[in-house]
Structure 1
């Protein structure tokens, strides 16, 4: 396996304390001797190459066929069409006459939440007509906002042939994406650009392989393991390069994924989680007969922790190799304990990272559950919230155990240099 870590330069010995200044470094060459770098590459290649071959074989075997269900259901009903519109007034009275001129007759029930919008596509292009917006989507509406609307000719008699579907968000989302890319490249340079490329390719694995394969009822856990491995290989090696350091981190990430898989399987089974919570999940179950919602829940737990998991293993692998480069005489036990002193800081900072992330995502669910008059424990252990709690705990366990696993792998790969005794030096 190729490595971007060059052999050591003859820069003389460095003090032990110097190593701590590199504890959070993700970049920079490792100062290893040519022989040690070669040995580490051979050991890592013997482990990683079979993993790569197994991942490629898994992709070939599990790759979904042409009968994928993705995009198989029409978005609009027969006869209806998806169009665009622009709000011209929040007062529907400004365009009721226009609706009446088309022969529309309304009892006012639908027009109560309607706005005036100029149709910008389709047969009604150029007309300003009422567009019904549900109450829950009405608050952000303002003059000039662009909408996606559903045109249904049969609804003309009711006065609202155009019904709100969603807001058009292309411009603001594209602007945020451009700002994000510019900042990443400006701050992180070439490595930042490669990280974004790795993210794009990993997302492609999710969209082109994992989602279609799960919909085709391929074994969910195998799809998750193969897909996760492919995502990690692309993200890690493209962003950080092929090196001893990143390969060590990759093995630590694999260990964390295996632990997370085992924990999620046990947690979902022991807690009797069904995965059948939320209207979207129930609709999916009806549309894809035979899809195991429990298996899907388990897969989601694994995928959710990949990003943070990879981040801590990269940092931890760097810490151990830098400790070794600073003092090659450190034994493996000392390397492990020194690395874990740094790893404890990572654990302390990541304990609440996933918890806060999941709490923020599930905030509406938590607020809805808090309105119910029942004991706090019963609320926390209800199906919807229990899923989030188990997801957080399982991902956190995998994250915490990946740190000592990565530290141990890195320490075992290091070849220590015995310190010569005074007799030997004489």
Structure 2
């Protein structure tokens, strides 16, 4: 416990030194997001509550914290927020279809021995739980890309106020292409880092490559990575298009307009 407190203190100090007041807000946002997710999980324990609906509500709360609490309420964060919700809505149907088709819900064979003493008749649809897990796993990357697109587009317009809508959208897409590769790789390395012990266990159990690829736990994580990558790819044109539309329609030509 002392180690966790020390690491949290180091993180807080570094975030304040680097980010100032916004860094302190970012640190507080970590705990606020944790509370939202924890409260969502508690509500899921009630079989009458729909896990997907609860997750969508949680996504709204987490996105609002990450965007509005940290960066303030302005047109830049509002558009990033709307872009996030649109992308999550599109991604939701895709995730549900593939999660059900891939049959990744429930527990894997590797987990059966540890849970065999417990009853699994808990009255919760595990397909919806799997969908909720994937949505929450991809939310952070999607929100990050949304603000990472909105902010540079505003800077581009600030320095080139006569830029056209098509050129502004093109600038957003150029920025997005640079973000796409790095963020997708971030999701991949997060999986490798989190499941390194599992991969070593697969090796000790003499799993073949085919058995590893077809295992439920591996398939679930790969589905999460691919859905996250799809979400990142979707939000880039959505955020770029909404920002270009808003700026050229409501901001361009107003010399006294403030962006912050």
**What corresponds to 2:181 in structure 1?**
348
SS in 2 for 1:305: helix
Please state which structure has a larger fraction of its residues in strand: 1
Of the two structures, which has the highest relative contact order with CA contacts closer than 8 Å and spacing of 6 or more?
Answer: 2
Shift in Å at residue 412 of structure 1? 1.0
**What corresponds to 1:337 in structure 2?**
170
**What corresponds to 1:398 in structure 2?**
231
Residues 1:346 and 1:180: Cα distance change in structure 2 (over 3 Å): same
Does 2:11 match 1:180? yes
Contact 1:202-1:232 within 8 A present in 2 as well: no
Contact 2:138-2:224 within 8 A present in 1 as well: no
Candidates 203, 222, 227, aligned match of 2:58:
227
Residues 1:333 and 1:274: Cα distance change in structure 2 (over 3 Å): same
Does 2:149 match 1:316? yes
Residues 1:368 and 1:379: Cα distance change in structure 2 (over 3 Å): same
Residues 1:263 and 1:375: Cα distance change in structure 2 (over 3 Å): same
Does 2:74 match 1:243? yes
Task: Give structure 1 stretches of 5+ with no counterpart.
Answer: 1-169, 419-426
- TM-score normalized with structure 2 length: 0.87
Q: CA RMSD in A?
A: 2.2
Task: Give structure 2 stretches of 5+ with no counterpart.
Answer: 254-260
**What corresponds to 1:380 in structure 2?**
213
Residues 1:363 and 1:355: Cα distance change in structure 2 (over 3 Å): same
**Superposition pairs for residues 25-424 of structure 1, below 5 Å?**
170-208=1-39, 210-217=40-47, 218-277=49-108, 278-279=111-112, 282=115, 286=119, 289-373=122-206, 375-415=208-248
Structure 1: distance between partners of 2:30 and 2:206: 44
Larger radius of gyration: 1
Structure 2: distance between partners of 1:297 and 1:284: 22
SS in 2 for 1:344: helix
Contact 1:347-1:400 within 8 A present in 2 as well: yes
